[in-house]
Each structure stands twice: as structure tokens, then as C-alpha cells.
């Protein structure tokens, strides 16, 4: 099968990229050997999140992307998850080198603008290996998440069936 490379990317920051990457790495680690790469050299959100508590052992390996790229290897992993930085300049190259690009977005106007920019970049280059993940979706009776899903479905944008609901614990993480 080879190594599946899943990049979590968006041209907008603060939409849940690191949270999605850590949760995805945790989930996939039950299916095979998993590596989480933090490609945000400035913030290192995923790295800090997964290494700050020495008493907790994550079921996957975490590494800084640039350090990983400087060495040989990667074949020993079934899954490599890449947590990218906001405003990803190399989005097209990243998508072409990934099995799947997960694009998290919140169901609000500012996040939607970032999503549109990200999707336009991908569509202009005929990149199709992506799927949108709705994050921080408010509970009913608020319909923002459902409304955004309908808009994306109507536009033919691939969207994950599940969403990440708004939770205080997620924002504190």
C-alpha cells in the first residue's frame, strides 16, 4: 500500500488545522504506524501540544517537518500527517505530494473567505485530492454549519460527512 500522506492545510489560520492534525494522527495510529509532522516553523502548535506534557505518551511520533526532510526515511510509517501553517504558499505542491488534503474551516464569513481562496488555488491547478472538514460548528438551533454544508454541496465541493462541533474543551486545547 505504501505510506499515505495526509496534509491539513488552509490559507486561513485559526480554523482548526493543528487540532485536526493531532486528532487525525491519534485516530490513524490505531490503524498503523503514524508520524505527525509540524510544518509551522514559527508557531509549532502540534509540536508544542504533543510534547509539552512529558507524563503523557501519544500513540504516534511527532517531528518538526524541516528536521524530518533533512533526513532519510519515512518509509517505516503507514501514515504521515502534515500540520501546515496558515497561508500555505506551497499549497499546490503540497496537494500534489499528498494522498489527501484536509481543509478545515469554521462556518463563518471570515473563514469562508479563506476557504474560497484555498479552493480557488486548488481548482485552478486541477487538484482534486482534497476534502473540507467543518470545524467549530455551533449546536442547534444555530444553522451555520448546516448552511455552509449545503452551500459547499451545491457547489460540488467534497465535504466530510462528520463535523467537529463547537466545544469549550477544543478551544482550550
**Euclidean distance between CA atoms 109 and 28, whole angstroms:** 31
Helix, strand, or coil (residue 127): coil
Q: Which helix (H) or strand (E) holds 147?
A: helix 144-154
pTM: 0.90
- Count of alpha carbons within 13 Å of 8, Cβ hemisphere only? 29
Higher pLDDT, 24 or 97: 24
Q: Which helix (H) or strand (E) holds 131?
A: strand 130-134
26-35, 43-52, 65-74, 111-120: the lowest-pLDDT one: 65-74
Q: What pLDDT digit, counting tens, does each position of 88-128 carry?
A: 667 788 888 899 999 999 999 888 888 988 888 888 888 89
pLDDT at 74 over 70: no
Backbone Cα Rg of the chain: 16
Q: What is the per-residue pLDDT for 173?
A: 56
Q: What is the per-residue pLDDT for 86?
A: 72
β-strand partners of 165:
137
Amino acid at each position: 500500500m505504501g505510506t499515505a500522506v495526509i496534509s491539513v492545510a488552509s490559507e486561513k489560520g485559526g480554523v482548526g488545522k493543528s487540532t485536526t492534525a493531532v486528532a487525525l494522527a491519534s485516530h490513524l495510529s490505531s490503524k498503523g504506524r503514524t508520524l505527525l509532522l509540524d510544518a509551522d516553523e514559527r508557531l509549532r502548535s502540534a509540536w508544542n501540544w504533543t510534547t509539552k506534557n512529558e507524563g503523557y505518551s501519544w500513540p504516534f511520533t511527532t517531528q518538526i517537518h524541516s528536521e524530518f526532510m533533512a533526513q532519510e526515511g519515512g518509509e517505516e510509517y503507514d501514515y504521515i500527517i502534515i500540520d501546515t501553517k496558515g497561508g500555505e504558499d506551497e499549497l499546490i505542491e503540497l496537494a500534489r505530494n499528498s494522498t489527501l488534503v484536509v481543509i478545515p474551516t469554521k462556518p463563518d464569513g471570515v473563514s469562508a473567505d479563506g476557504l474560497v481562496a484555498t479552493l480557488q488555488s486548488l481548482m485552478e491547478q486541477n487538484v482534486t485530492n482534497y476534502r473540507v472538514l467543518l470545524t467549530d460548528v455551533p449546536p442547534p438551533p444555530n444553522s451555520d454549519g448546516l448552511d455552509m454544508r449545503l452551500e459547499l454541496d451545491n457547489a460540488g465541493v467534497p465535504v466530510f460527512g462528520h463535523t467537529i462541533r463547537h466545544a469549550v474543551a477544543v478551544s482550550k486545547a
